[in-house]
Chains A and B, each alone.
Chain A
Amino acid sequence: MKRIVSTLALGAALGLGATAALAQAPSTLRNVQNKGFVQCGVTQGLAGFSMPDSAGNWTGLDVDLCRAVAAAIFNDPTKVRFSPLSAKDRFTALQSGEIDVLSRNTTWTLQRDTSLGLNFAGINYYDGQGFMVRKSLNVKSARELSGASVCVQTGTTTELNVADFFRANNLKYEPVVFASADETVKAYDSGRCDVFTTDASGLYAERVKLAKPDDHVVLPEIISKEPLGPVVRHGDDQWLDIVKWVHFAMITAEELNITKANLDQMMQSTNPEIRRVLGVEGNGGEALGLTKDWVVRIVRHVGNYAEVFDRNVGPSTRLGISRGLNALWTKGGLQYAPPIR
C-alpha cells in the first residue's frame, strides 16, 4: 500500500521539481560521496539475493554488489542504505532518484533498457523462469498445466512470460496477480493457486519459506531467458561505468584467483595482469573516478564473484544452487568480464 503512495510521490516529484537537479545531469558519484552512502534498491526479501537477517543486516548476492560499490568508493562496505522495493515500484524509485542503484534480480530487456530511462550495468546472475507445483498433483511437465491457477507477481517479465507460454502452447490458465513476492508465495502456499512461477532462482529461494518445502517440486521447463543484473539511471555515464566495472572486477578477481584470503600475497605478485588489476601498476581506477586500489577494496571487503556466489546461493547454502550458467567462461559458463587494462 505504501508503494502506491511512493508511486504517487514520484508523479508529484517528477512534476514539482524535486528532481530539478536532474535537469543539470549531476554526477551521481559526487552526490553519493557527499551524502556518504550508496542508496541501493533491493527486493523486499528473497533468500540468497537480498534478505535482512534477524539483526537487520542485509545479505545476499544482489546486496553484495551494492556493498562492493560502496567498498570501491568509500573503502567501507557498510556505507550502503537499502530500500526494499516491490517489483512494481523498483523502476519508479530509480527514475525519481530515490535510489542510486537498483540491484534487485531485475531482468534486462530491450524495452526496459530503452524506454524506461534506465541503463543495465551487467548480468550478475543468469536465470530463467520456471514453475513450482505441489507434488500431490502429479504433474511432470509444464505442458500439463492447462486449466491451472497461476500465482504470479505483478510488474515482472515473469507475468508476461507466463502469458506467452500458455498462449504459445494453447493452454488455459487463470492468473492471480499480487504486488509483492510475499503475498504471491502466501497465496500459493494457502492453496489459492496450483502453480507458483518466477525465476528459477526465486523458486528455490521461496520454497524454503513454504510451510512444507518438501511437498513442492520445480518442473523441468525453463521457459525464458532472465539475465538479472544491476540497473542505474540513464544519463550518467560515469556512474554506469562504476557499477558495471565493479561487477567486472569481481569476475576478473575470480578469474585471476584473487580471494579475500590471498589478497596480500597477490599484491606482491609479479604477474603484470594481477599487478594492473590490483592497481600496483597503472591507474584504471582513477579513470573511473575512484582510487587506484579500487579492486583491492572490493575483494578485501566483499570477495570475488565465486566467494559471493558460494556464500549466498551456492551448493553449501540452503538454496543449494550450482554454478551452471553462472560459472566463469573458462569453466563452461557465461560469466565473462572484459579485460581490466
Chain B
Amino acid sequence: MTDGTLPARATGAPKVAFFNDPKTRSLIFQGLALALLVFVIFTAVTNAVTNLRNQNIAGGFGFLEQTAGFGISQTPIAWAESMSYGRAFLIGLLNTLLVAVVGIFFATLLGFVVGVARLSPNWVISKIAYWYVEVIRNLPLLFQILFWYLAVLAAMPTPRNSHSLFGLFFANQRGITVPRPIFEAGAGAIGIALLVGIVAAFAVRSWAYKRQAATGQQFPVAASMAGLILGLPILAYFLSGMPISFDYAQQGRFNLTGGMTLIPEFVALTIALVAYTAAFIGEIVRAGIQAVSYGQTEAGRSLGLAEGRILNLIVVPQALRVIIPPLTSQYLNLAKNSSLAVGIGYPDMVSVGGTILNQTGQAIEIIAMWMGCYLTISIVTSIFMNWYNQRIALVER
C-alpha cells in the first residue's frame, strides 16, 4: 500500500463537525450496537437464571457425572448402564462423527462419479446421472431416511431367515452381521507393519516424483504403493504366526449372536445421507469441470497426452479450485443433517442428548452442548477444507 491511498483528511485538520465525521459516527453506532447486544445477553442470562431458580431446576453441568441408567444400541466405546450421562453424551457424539465421516467419504466418491458421469459423452450414462440428481435432490432428506429404514431395510427377512453369504455374512431386519476379528498376542506387529507400509509408500511416491522431475523416468507408483500398504501387513500376519481369529455369528434364540453388526438405523441413515449429499456434490463437480476451459483439454491433446492423463493432470487440478469451497458446505450439511437420525432411532448426539435432557431436565445445558459440538465439528471441517483449498489454490508467479 502506498501513501497515496491514505485519505487526505486523516493527516489534515478535521473540516467537518464532530458529529458529522463518518469515523466518529461509525464508532458511536458500533458502540450502541455493542451495548444493545450486551444488554440482550445480560437480560437473557439473568432471566434464565431467575426462571430456573423459580422452577427449582438445578443448573450447571454436575449432572454429567450422574449414572445414566439407560441402554444405547450402538456403542463405539464400552458402555454399561451404570456409566455416567457424560459418557452417554460422548457415545452420541462419536456416533454422530462416525456417520459424518463414513458419509462424507462415500458421498465424495459417489458425488465425483455422478459429476463425471453427467458429462459423459455416453447418452445413457449421462441421462442416468441426470435423473439421479434431479430425483434425489428434490426429495426431502427425512423422507429418504424413512424410506430406506421403513421400506427397504424393514422388508429384510427375520433373523431366523437371514440372507447369508457363505454362512459368514448375514443381512436381516436387525442389520448386517459380519465376523468380528479377535486380535491375539502379536497382532500389534500387523498394525506396526501397516504404519510402516503407509510411510514407506508415501516416501516412494515423493522419491518417484522427484526422479521423474529430474530425469523424466517414470516409476510404477500406484502398484508399488499398494504393494507396500497391503503387502507388509500380510507378511507380518504370517511371520507373527497368524494372530487374528474371527468370531463368527451364530443363530441365537432371538438374534444372531457374535460377530459384528451394523445396525439398520446406521445403514439407513448413512445410505440416505450419502445418496442425498452425492447428488449435490455431483452438480458441484460438474460445475467445476465445466469451469475449466475446453481449450485446456485441447492443449493437452495437442501435446499427445492420453485422455485419462488430461483429466488427472490438467482438468481436475483446475476444477478442484472451483469445487472445494462449495464442497465444504456440503460436508457441513451432511454432518448437521445427521441429526435427523432421531426420526429412526439411531443413537446420535441429538437422540442420546434428548434422552439425557428428558431424564435430567437440563435443557439449557444440553442445548448448549449440542451447539458447542456442532459448532466445533463445523469449524474443524471448515478449517481443514480452507487449508486444503489454499494448498491447491492457483499459485501465481
- Which A residues fall within an 8 A CB radius of B? 1, 4, 7-8, 10-11, 14-17, 19-20, 22-23, 25, 87-89, 91-92, 95, 111-112, 114-117, 137, 144-150, 154-155, 159-160, 162-164, 166-167, 173-179, 183, 186-187, 190-192, 194, 233-235
- Between A and B, how many residue pairs show CB distances below 8 Å? 165
Bitwise interface map of B from 286 to 323 toward A, beta carbon under 8 Å scored 1, else 0: 00000000000000000000000000000000000000
Subset of 27 A-B contacts with CB under 8 Å: A8-B367, A11-B363, A14-B47, A16-B47, A19-B47, A22-B55, A87-B358, A88-B355, A89-B358, A114-B56, A115-B58, A115-B361, A116-B57, A147-B252, A147-B257, A159-B70, A159-B355, A160-B70, A174-B73, A175-B70, A176-B265, A177-B347, A179-B354, A190-B173, A194-B255, A235-B54, A235-B55
Stretch of B105-113, B120-128, B337-345 contacting A (4+ beta carbons < 8 Å): B337-345
Chain B residues whose C-beta falls within 8 Å of the C-beta of A115 in the assembled complex:
56-58, 360-361
Among candidates B57, B174, B357, residue contacting A149 with C-beta atoms closer than 8 Å = B174
**Cβ-closest chain B residue relative to A150:** B71
Give the shortest distance, in Å, between B92 (CB) and chain A (any CB): 11
Chain A residues whose C-beta falls within 8 Å of the C-beta of B82 in the assembled complex:
167
Chain B residues whose C-beta falls within 8 Å of the C-beta of A137 in the assembled complex:
254
**CB <8 Å contact, B154 and A190:** yes
**CB <8 Å contact, B57 and A117:** yes
**Cβ-closest chain B residue relative to A156:** B358
**CB <8 Å contact, A162 and B71:** yes
Question: Top 4 closest A-B pairs, CB basis?
Answer: A117-B55, A155-B358, A175-B71, A116-B361
Bitwise interface map of B from 108 to 144 toward A, beta carbon under 8 Å scored 1, else 0: 0000000000000000000000000000000000100
Chain A residues whose C-beta falls within 8 Å of the C-beta of B355 in the assembled complex:
88, 154-155, 159, 177
Chain B residues whose C-beta falls within 8 Å of the C-beta of A10 in the assembled complex:
363
Give the shortest distance, in Å, between B111 (CB) and chain A (any CB): 26
Give the shortest distance, in Å, between B162 (CB) and chain A (any CB): 12
Give the shortest distance, in Å, between B48 (CB) and chain A (any CB): 5
**CB <8 Å contact, A95 and B358:** no
Chain B residues whose C-beta falls within 8 Å of the C-beta of A154 in the assembled complex:
351, 354-355, 358
Chain B residues whose C-beta falls within 8 Å of the C-beta of A145 in the assembled complex:
254
**CB <8 Å contact, A176 and B48:** no
**CB <8 Å contact, B357 and A148:** no
**Cβ-closest chain A residue relative to B265:** A176
**CB <8 Å contact, A177 and B255:** no
Give the shortest distance, in Å, between B49 (CB) and chain A (any CB): 10
Among candidates A22, A89, A175, A191, residue contacting B51 with C-beta atoms closer than 8 Å = A22
For the complex, is B45 an interface residue (Cβ under 8 Å from A)?
yes
CA distance A95 to B56 in the complex (A): 10
**Cβ-closest chain A residue relative to B50:** A23
Among candidates A19, A88, A235, residue contacting B358 with C-beta atoms closer than 8 Å = A88
**Cβ-closest chain A residue relative to B174:** A149
**CB <8 Å contact, A191 and B56:** no
Assess A163 versus B70: contact at CB under 8 Å? Given A23-B50, A115-B360, A148-B255: yes
CA distance A115 to B174 in the complex (A): 37
Chain B residues whose C-beta falls within 8 Å of the C-beta of A1 in the assembled complex:
142, 340, 342-343
Give the shortest distance, in Å, between B344 (CB) and chain A (any CB): 8
Other A-B contacts than A115-B361, A190-B154, 15 sampled, CB-CB below 8 A, are: A15-B47, A16-B43, A16-B44, A17-B44, A91-B358, A95-B363, A117-B55, A154-B354, A160-B69, A163-B70, A174-B73, A175-B70, A177-B351, A190-B150, A235-B56
CA distance A1 to B142 in the complex (A): 9
For the complex, is B386 an interface residue (Cβ under 8 Å from A)?
no
For the complex, is B364 an interface residue (Cβ under 8 Å from A)?
yes
**CB <8 Å contact, A163 and B69:** yes
Assess A163 versus B367: contact at CB under 8 Å? Given A88-B355, A115-B56, A183-B345: no
Give the shortest distance, in Å, between A173 (CB) and chain B (any CB): 7
For chain B residues 216-269, which have a beta carbon within 8 Å of chain A?
252-255, 257, 264-265
> How many chain B residues have a CB neighbour from A under 8 Å?
52
Chain A residues whose C-beta falls within 8 Å of the C-beta of B51 in the assembled complex:
14, 19, 22-23
CA distance A191 to B48 in the complex (A): 44
For the complex, is B385 an interface residue (Cβ under 8 Å from A)?
no
Which one of B71, B252, B343 has the highest number of Cβ atoms from chain A below 10 Å of its Cβ? B71
For the complex, is B333 an interface residue (Cβ under 8 Å from A)?
no
**CB <8 Å contact, A234 and B351:** no
Chain B residues whose C-beta falls within 8 Å of the C-beta of A162 in the assembled complex:
71
Give the shortest distance, in Å, between B88 (CB) and chain A (any CB): 11
Assess A117 versus B56: contact at CB under 8 Å? Given A23-B47, A175-B72: yes
CA distance A183 to B367 in the complex (A): 24
CA distance A87 to B72 in the complex (A): 18
**CB <8 Å contact, B253 and A179:** no
**Cβ-closest chain A residue relative to B55:** A117
Give the shortest distance, in Å, between B178 (CB) and chain A (any CB): 17
**CB <8 Å contact, A149 and B43:** no
Among candidates A111, A163, A176, A234, residue contacting B345 with C-beta atoms closer than 8 Å = A176
**Cβ-closest chain B residue relative to A22:** B51
Which one of A114, A137, A183 has the highest number of Cβ atoms from chain B below 10 Å of its Cβ? A183
Give the shortest distance, in Å, between B198 (CB) and chain A (any CB): 36
Chain B residues whose C-beta falls within 8 Å of the C-beta of A175 in the assembled complex:
70-73
**CB <8 Å contact, B350 and A4:** yes
**CB <8 Å contact, A147 and B253:** yes
Among candidates B254, B255, B265, B367, residue contacting A11 with C-beta atoms closer than 8 Å = B367
Give the shortest distance, in Å, between B95 (CB) and chain A (any CB): 12
**Cβ-closest chain B residue relative to A114:** B56
Give the shortest distance, in Å, between A327 (CB) and chain B (any CB): 32
**Cβ-closest chain A residue relative to B69:** A160
Chain A residues whose C-beta falls within 8 Å of the C-beta of B43 in the assembled complex:
16-17
Chain A residues whose C-beta falls within 8 Å of the C-beta of B340 in the assembled complex:
1
**Cβ-closest chain B residue relative to A21:** B51
Give the shortest distance, in Å, between B234 (CB) and chain A (any CB): 35
Give the shortest distance, in Å, between A197 (CB) and chain B (any CB): 11
For the complex, is B65 an interface residue (Cβ under 8 Å from A)?
no
**CB <8 Å contact, A88 and B364:** no
**CB <8 Å contact, B354 and A7:** yes
Among candidates A155, A191, A192, residue contacting B354 with C-beta atoms closer than 8 Å = A155
**CB <8 Å contact, B354 and A163:** no
**Cβ-closest chain A residue relative to B173:** A191
Chain A residues whose C-beta falls within 8 Å of the C-beta of B343 in the assembled complex:
1, 179, 183
**CB <8 Å contact, A14 and B345:** no
For chain B residues 185-215, which have a beta carbon within 8 Å of chain A?
none
**CB <8 Å contact, B71 and A4:** no
**CB <8 Å contact, A17 and B367:** no
Assess A163 versus B56: contact at CB under 8 Å? Given A154-B354, A155-B359, A190-B173: no
Chain A residues whose C-beta falls within 8 Å of the C-beta of B158 in the assembled complex:
191
**CB <8 Å contact, B367 and A192:** no
